[in-house]
Amino acid sequence: MNIPTNARPSTRILKDLLKVRKELIKVENSNQPFVSNIDPLMKKDYFLSDALVRYLCYEMNIEINLKLEEGDDDKEEVELF
């Protein structure tokens, strides 16, 4: 694939993933690292990471069968404390 590096979908996803991870670090190091602030960022991180791997496999012509696991969204977590 001869697409310029900055125009590839994987490059754009990587930039988005970097922004999400920087925001996640900011929240985790803040005075209020609440789960309600971290969970949405973790979900974005998971899906962007998955998309990045899929695009890289496509760009490098690597055949890999990846299953997306999102079963945790349906279950409500019970707070222990």
Q: Does residue 78 lie in a domain region? A: no
Return d(Cα 17, Cα 5) in angstroms, integer: 16
58 or 21, greater pLDDT:
21
| Residue 74 CB contacts under 8 Å (≥ 6 apart), including other chains | none
Q: Does residue 54 lie in a domain region? A: yes
Q: Does residue 74 lie in a domain region? A: no
Q: Does residue 80 lie in a domain region? A: no
pLDDT of res. 70: 61
Q: Does residue 79 lie in a domain region? A: no
**13 CB neighbour count, 10 Å cutoff:** 20
Q: What would the pLDDT profile of 39-60 be if each residue is shown by its tens digit? A: 999 999 999 999 999 888 888 8
- Tokens coding 70: 């999102």
Q: How many domains does the chain have?
A: 1
Return d(Cα 52, Cα 58) in angstroms, integer: 10
pTM of the predicted model over 0.75 = no
Q: What would the pLDDT profile of 2-19 be if each residue is shown by its tens digit? A: 667 777 888 899 999 999
Structural domain of residue 47, as residue ranges? 5-63
Q: Does residue 27 lie in a domain region? A: yes
Q: Does residue 69 lie in a domain region? A: no
